[in-house]
Amino acid sequence: MLIVKKFGGTSVADKERIMNVAKRCIRDYQEGNDVVVVLSAMGKQTDVLIDMAKDINPTPSKRELDMLLSTGEQTSVALMAMAMATFKIPAISLNAFQVAMHTTSAYGSARLKRIDTERIRHELDQRKIVIITGFQGVNKYDDVTTLGRGGSDTTAVALAAALHADTCEIFTDVDGVYTADPRIVKKARKLKEITYDEMLDLATLGAGVLHNRSVEMAKKYGVQLVVRSSLNEEEGTVVKEDVRVERMLVSGVAADRNVTRISLVGLKDVPGIAFKVFDVLGKANVNVDMILQSIGRHGTKDITFTVPGDASDDALGALEKNKDVLGYEELSINREVAKVSIVGAGMMSNPGVAAKMFEALYNSRININMISTSEIRVTVLIDVKEVDKAVNAIHDMFELED
């Protein structure tokens, strides 16, 4: 079997944990499997590096930031190879350049385009454990890129797809995917299985346990994922196309604090305004999420929307630069908001699910700013200070507990 095993930051945070991971990988290797290991930076190292950068320069160039951040993963893989060597196991570490993992050129949010597998195959054929840096890639200028926070999951899934791996295991600091973040909701329940579609929505809506692109890619290439703990032997959660268990109405609640709300007040109520606003944002590479347009009155209207919190400065810059073209009277911004969402394939055929979520919020006296829905999810925008209370209230309302 060819096994891809990915370990997140907490799983390799110190010497003891690194040794623990080494042993786990060696076990599979000694059973005769080919083992490819993908690692994140140790502990909170990526945050430490970002702080170091911002201390020197509050607005570092994205290229140089990627150059810096990629060192975190490089540290982990080299130490892991050294750890395995202490057990007399042949192992080799490779960074994205050495593999070659080709990405688009967007620093900080690059997308994987193609992975060369020749070098990896060659090392596996020599019966080595191959340890690869997560999160990073190389663009057409031969510069280092990164895939966005949490991107090591995506590296692992992409490798599993490219190598036609038999399994792809994502090891983290919780036992699997839960009905809500177990750190916020004490009663959260571990899911045995979850579909790609539900997991993709949960991940996109803030359930940081998996990088959303990793789920997108797993679905596209049919890579079955197992999310489990590196600290124990619990079974974990399987992410796949179809699940056998009866569909729950709601399979999970997610929260995303990385949100900013922007309102453009006093726009002209004529055709083409929404196009202009979102075209400006699109060209500035800003993803817009929830959108609300008021009814036109006295020839003017307002448009309110949300953008990722870390893109809010880019959004502001673009909107202010184009103030004359867009013709708004006032721009207001609120960074103290968060999205809370419920996701479930069972929702499709059950009206009243949204009402039940709103009732839970009303019972907790939480005000809703904006609402958006799709077939399998409902999202509300609320005050960031109320997130924990909201998630728990909604979780209770749908009786998702253990």
How far is Cα 23 from Cα 16, in angstroms, rounded to an integer?
11
List 150, 151, 206, 236, residue binding Mg ion (CB under 5 A)? 150
Least distance from C-beta 330 to ligand ADP, angstroms?
A: 36
Give the SS3 label for residue 52.
helix
Does 41 sit near ligand ASP (CB under 6 A)?
Answer: yes
Q: Report the interhelical angle of 212-221 vs 196-204 (nearest 10°).
A: 160
How far is Cα 204 from Cα 275, in angstroms, rounded to an integer?
25
Q: Are strands 144-146 and 136-138 parallel, antiparallel or unpaired?
A: antiparallel
Least distance from C-beta 346 to ligand ASP, angstroms?
A: 30
Q: Map residues 121-150 to x or -, x wherever contact with ligand ADP holds by CB under 6 A.
A: -----------------------------x
Question: Which residues, numbered 4-33, are part of the site for Mg ion (CB under 5 A)?
Answer: 8
Total residues interacting with ligand ADP, rule: CB under 6 A? 19
Specify the residue for token string 């596209």. Answer: 220
Least distance from C-beta 73 to ligand ASP, angstroms?
A: 6
How far is Cα 260 from Cα 207, in angstroms, rounded to an integer?
18
How far is Cα 225 from Cα 328, in angstroms, rounded to an integer?
47
List 110, 131, 160, 207, residue binding ligand ADP (CB under 6 A)? 207
CA distances in angstroms from 72 to 46, 99, 351, 379, listed in the order given: 6, 17, 47, 34
Does 181 sit near ligand ADP (CB under 6 A)?
Answer: yes
Residue 385, contacted partner among ligand ADP, ligand ASP, Mg ion, none, CB below 5-8 A by kind: none
- State the burial class of residue 378 (Cβ atoms within 10 Å of its Cβ: 0-12, 13-18, 19+): buried
Least distance from C-beta 3 to ligand ADP, angstroms?
A: 18
Does 43 sit near Mg ion (CB under 5 A)?
Answer: no
List 43, 150, 206, 236, residue binding ligand ASP (CB under 6 A)? 150
Residue 207, contacted partner among Mg ion, ligand ASP, ligand ADP, none, CB below 5-8 A by kind: ligand ADP
Q: Report the interhelical angle of 312-321 vs 273-283 (nearest 10°).
A: 130
Does 72 sit near ligand ASP (CB under 6 A)?
Answer: yes
Amino acid at 67: M
List residues near ligand ADP by CB under 6 A: 8-11, 40, 150, 172-174, 177-178, 180-183, 207-209, 252
List residues near ligand ASP by CB under 6 A: 8-9, 40-41, 46, 72, 134-135, 149-152
